[in-house]
Each structure stands twice: as C-alpha cells, then as structure tokens.
Amino acid sequence: MQRPTSVSVASWIWLGCALLGTVAVSNILLATEFIAVFVGAGGTEEELAASQVIGVAGVIGAVIAMAAVAIQVVAAVELRDGARWARVLLTISAALALVGALIDLTDWSAWVLVAANVVALVLAYGESASAYLDAQRRGAASVPVAGAGSTTTTRRQHA
C-alpha cells in the first residue's frame, strides 16, 4: 500500500515541532544561565552555590529536552515508514506539548506547537493513515538471517 499524504504531512509537522523544540532547549539554557548570573553576582557564598545549582539544573533540563527532540525526530521518520509505535510516541509528545502550554498560558509559541500537534494527530489517526499503518504491520514477514540460523522480522518499505 502506498503511503498516504496524511502520514507524510503529519510526519513533516512533527519534524517541524522537533525543530521548534530545539528553540526551547536554547531558552532553557539562556534562562537558567541568566538567573544564575544574577543570583551569583556579588553574592554571598550561599548565593554563589545556588547559582551553580541553577546552572546545572538548566543543563540537565536541556539534555532531557534534547533527548525528547531526538526521540521525536526518530518517531516522525519511522511513522512515515509505517511504524505504529511511532504514532503512540508522537501522541505522548503531543500531550506533553499541551502540558507545557498549560504551564504558561501566556506563551503563544507553546500554543502554536499545540495546534501543530493537534493537526498532526488528526492526520495520523485518520482513516487512510490507520489503514496504511495496519497494512504495514500485516506486511511484516519472517526472513532467515544469512548464516545465523535464526529469523528476524523485516518490514516492507513503501515509497
């Protein structure tokens, strides 16, 4: 079965959302460093220690956010190839985007991200997308691996 346009468009939307996620990573780093500088500027020893904790927390938050972006990129590409698990991961990603928007109701960019995720969800759960993902799942076949004596499951790729 040929990949429907809705799956391709949903995948591209989620790739765009991941790109926007990299902006969030830079915002995390900038905000925590900005706070750390002002907390530690000419402060006491306790304030300097607090600024270091804030800086480390920012780096940890940024690493977690980049891992989430990487997972979203992989899932968006795998969705195009017909992986049903990718749709589940991207649904979770959309839910997290909503939670992020609810944390700060005034952040318009978070609401743009939520709207993009909703459009991608509608496309990914549409009739043609579901039929495509079901067909891809049924298309898996057991093929012997050369020289290994065991079998592996491969997915048929459709352009």
Query: What pLDDT score was predicted for residue 125?
Result: 93
Query: What pLDDT score was predicted for residue 157?
Result: 47
Report the amino acid identity of residue 152: T
72, 90 contact by CB (below 8 A):
yes
Distances (CA, A) of 73 to 16, 51, 70, 119, 154: 9, 33, 5, 17, 21
DSSP state of 148: T
Name the token pair of 91: 């649904």
Q: How far apart are CA 73 and CA 60, in angstroms?
A: 20
Report the amino acid identity of residue 120: A
3-state helix, strand, coil in the chain (%, to 5): 75, 5, 20
Neighbours of 138 (CB within 10 A): 10
Query: What pLDDT score was predicted for residue 106?
Result: 81
Query: What pLDDT score was predicted for residue 15?
Result: 95
From first to last of its 159 residues, the chain has per-residue pLDDT tens of: 789 999 999 999 999 999 988 887 787 778 777 676 666 566 677 777 777 787 788 888 888 888 888 999 999 999 998 999 999 999 998 898 888 788 877 878 888 889 999 999 999 999 999 999 888 888 754 333 344 444 444 444 444
DSSP state of 145: P
- State whether residue 82 is helix, strand or coil: coil
Give residues with Cβ within 8 angstroms of 1, minimum separation 6.
131, 132, 135, 136, 158
Domain residue spans of the chain: 5-154
